[in-house]
Structure 1
């Protein structure tokens, strides 16, 4: 049976808000509900969910801007609101045909809530299709404009503006929006680093070994998620930021020392 990605992600967003689940808990629960085993589909659902959450304040601003009464946003039924969020993200931030996305979201709404609600969703998304992001930016005050453009909460922008000049605030936000580099840390208690590198390359992972910290591997690209490789399930490596991995070198633990990790 074909999986409707928009429906699944809408339900994941519902679970996060209704039950206070973490993103990963909600994804795991809904993927299990629909018995999705294809890792490519699971990966697409995971990526779409996290990107919508990352851009949520901007997506919501687009929806509010398109409503006749901004305050009516709060009265939209949560499930419909989340379907709208999925639709807005795909229309505005993905290389997809807007009309096709609108039709998909409208059809889901019709099946779940009937024709009347689907007409509302159809009218709203068709309006959003025609709106340029610059048009929305232009009517916002500076802090809200930066919040909308860089997808950070307005309170956070105002906090940064108290600490930094405008140029530094923008530079900080741009850097913060970059996709973080993926690093792996070899579990040298279970495998030698050279052997692990060989295994990863055989699994179509393009990588670089860190010149200063040999157990740290920088992932350039991977044919499939590194969490789907058997070596990961065997505990031969961990996904860990380079800064976290470097801590052990700085700490330089010695035999018989008791070390507590209380960062989490």
Structure 2
């Protein structure tokens, strides 16, 4: 049986070398080693997400105390060092000596003696300097200081400072390093919030209503894998961040309408549309990824939703088909994902500045291609889970310049209960302001 630290190491190495979704990869390992003590599962989760969140700062410490340049250190060894330093720096309940000894033991399983000695020497130096490493001057922060202290790439910090200012950028980066809450959405087609909360309570899960989204519950205490619960298998709830739920409500779909969910992904928002439509009408859910469409179909079957037809294709090809115009269109556009760094901290280390510009061009292209598919009087909602203007407001401004047949409908006017999220005419949620993931949405109406 692998130790918790060895399992965390395998997960982190996989993410470093082969990419992947950290949460799904973590869950697959927890399922594989299901007989682990809950405390060990908790340690694995803490190590995986903690190391990913603080990778920049951890690497800076390695560079300071290593005689070998960071890029020349074998990834296997680099992750051993990151994981041990994270424990030494952030996990007060784990003695530094234990973190060092476990790291050396892990290194000895795959590395030659001179590398084991190297690991031991670096970690001993870190341990000897731990008090000075924990002291951080957070006064008069610059962009460089924010990037170093809160472990974000400087190009991201620079972009946020330009748009939000230095003080708010520091708050945002700080919030990105916190563990996000787990939120679920009640499937109102099958149950109520009260009945679901009672059923979960009997299963040992404590929940409370979320602050903003209707029919949303926050898990306060419970299960490592909510998907194993009987209530989940019966389709009574969907795991989904509160902000992700909120942007779906901006479409305001009605029963008997015809809806297009472009770039539907796993179908989280698709199923909200079906609930708001009372499972009556027609939804076309489109995504380019075959495995996402397959997962979407499985999810819809579990939720007992019967009004959705799926299509695996590029939404830009829909114009080539003889399709009747839709009443409402929702575009959850591919984006840099910089609004969900609490849940997917690996994104900030994989993204590059050029990615944002490239994605903004794709977003404009997708939005342009959907314009003709909406009937006059219909509503189009554009949404992303990023916090950069180039992918958000600038995309909308460009679209409106090229499409005078559309106008923007301010969020605070059309959906008054979302006024707290209004930023100009747009919906904007922030981790540091609202305690949710970061999302952007614009509601557009075709007027001619």
| TM-score, normalised by the number of residues in structure 1 | 0.84
Give 3-state SS (helix, strand or coil) of 2:217's partner.
strand
Q: Which has the higher contact order (CA 8 A, sep 6+)?
A: 1
Q: Which residue of 1 aligns with 2:119?
A: 121
Say whether 1:74 aligns with 2:71. yes
Q: 1:21 to 1:254 in 2, by over 3 A?
A: closer
Q: Which residue of 1 aligns with 2:88?
A: 91
Q: CA deviation at 1:148?
A: 2.0
Q: 1:211 to 1:17 in 2, by over 3 A?
A: closer
Give 3-state SS (helix, strand or coil) of 2:260's partner.
coil
Deviations 1:244-264 (A, max 9, x none): 323444433222212222316
Q: 1:127 to 1:217 in 2, by over 3 A?
A: same
Q: CA deviation at 1:136?
A: 7.9
CA contact (8 A) 1:193 1:214 kept: no
Structure 1 vs Structure 2 CA RMSD: 2.7
Deviations 1:50-81 (A, max 9, x none): 22111111111111111245xx1111111011
Tell me how far apart the structure 2 counterparts of residues 237 and 248 of structure 1 sit (CA, whole Å): 16
CA contact (8 A) 1:143 1:157 kept: yes
Tell me how far apart the structure 2 counterparts of residues 133 and 50 of structure 1 sit (CA, whole Å): 21
Q: CA deviation at 1:21?
A: 2.8
Q: 1:48 to 1:206 in 2, by over 3 A?
A: same
Q: Which residue of 2 aligns with 1:257?
A: 257
Give 3-state SS (helix, strand or coil) of 2:261's partner.
coil
Q: Which residue of 1 aligns with 2:157?
A: 157
Tell me how far apart the structure 1 counterparts of residues 14 and 174 of structure 2 sit (CA, whole Å): 30
CA contact (8 A) 2:143 2:154 kept: yes
Q: Which residue of 2 aligns with 1:46?
A: 45
CA contact (8 A) 1:183 1:218 kept: yes
Q: CA deviation at 1:230?
A: 2.4
Q: How does 1:209-248 map to 2 (within 5 A)?
A: 209=209, 214-219=214-219, 221-225=220-224, 226-248=226-248
Aligned length: 256
Structure having the higher strand fraction is 2
Computing the radius of gyration from Cα coordinates, the structure with the larger value is 2
| TM-score, normalised by the number of residues in structure 2 | 0.52
